Amino acid sequence: MPDLNLFERRPDPPPAKVNALTMTVAGTLVWAVATAVVAILIGRGAVPLRYLGVCLAGLTMGALAIGWGFVHERRARGGRLAAAPAGREEPETTGNGPTAR
């Protein structure tokens, strides 16, 4: 008879590789389209004005998330926006600051 240990813990799958910044920008663009549609519908009198507040809240949260995403990506790269120019060496550092050469 096969071993039917249904409660055995299996190893966790590897984390998914997702570009959170691209996903956040896409979501914010969806809120921008929704805001435009709601604004048109408000102009026609089809929906109440409070719906526009929901869309603007989505846009605001999306803009804040995009800002957070840029900061997060910068920190993940070690705090540098670009590599040092060619031919220019950065000073070596230890725990106490730059060292003399």
Domain presence at residue 10: no
3-state SS, residue 91: coil
Q: Write the CB contacts of 69 (distance below 8 Å, at least 6 apart in sequence).
A: 20, 21, 24
pLDDT attached to residue 90: 54
Mean pLDDT of the 66-80 span: 84
Contact between residue 25 and residue 66 where contact means Cβ atoms under 8 Å apart: yes
Q: Which domain holds residue 65?
A: 20-82
pLDDT score for 101: 47
Instruction: Average the pLDDT over 1-20 and give the result.
Output: 80
In a domain, 41, yes or no: yes
Residue 99 lies in a domain: no
Q: How far is CA 13 from the centre of its chain?
A: 22
- pLDDT tens-digit profile of 13-52? 998 888 889 999 999 999 999 999 999 999 999 999 999 9
Q: Is residue 30 part of a domain?
A: yes
Cβ distance 65 to 28 under 8 Å?
A: yes
E strand segments, 1-101: 93-94, 97-98
Asked whether 56 and 35 are in contact (CB, 8 A), the reply is: yes
Count how many domains the chain has: 1
